[in-house]
Amino acid sequence: MLIQVRTDSNIEGREALTQRVETSVRDALDRFADRVTRVQVHLGDENSDKKAGDADMRCTIEVRLAGLEPLAVRDNASTVEQAVDGAIGKLVRAAETSVGRERGR
C-alpha cells in the first residue's frame, strides 16, 4: 500500500507527523490492504498564519481501491491530529460502503 503525505508550508513537524499519519492510515485500512493501491493525504492550514480558527486545520484523503472509483474525504478541525482522525473515520466508513455495494452486486 503506497501512502503519500503532503503538507502545506504552514504545518510544523512534517517528518514526525508524516510517520504518524502513515501509521494511522495503514492501521485503519488494514482490512482493505489487498485492494488499496494508493492513498494520498493532504494536510493544510485553511487560513495559514493570518488568524486562529476553530476548525482551520484540513485533512483530505483520497484512496484508490482496485476495481472501484477513487474515494475522497475531508475533515476540518482545531488540530492536525483531530483533522486526520476525523478524515480517517470518514474514509473507513466510505470504504466499507463501497466494498459492501460491490459485494452486493
Instruction: Kindly report, residue by residue over 16-31, the tens digit of the pLDDT.
Output: 899 999 999 999 999 9
pLDDT single digits (tens) 48-62:
666 665 778 999 999
Decide if domain 2-104 falls under CATH 3.40.50.300: no
| pLDDT at position 72 over 80 | yes
Identify which of 59, 49, 57 has the alpha carbon closest to the alpha carbon of residue 77: 57
Could you tell me the pLDDT band of residue 87, with boundaries at 50, 70 and 90?
very high
Is the pTM here over 0.75, yes or no?
A: yes
The predicted pLDDT at position 53 comes to: 59
The predicted pLDDT at position 74 comes to: 96
Cα–Cα distance between 85 and 83 in angstroms, integer?
6
Cβ atoms 91, 63 nearer than 8 A: yes
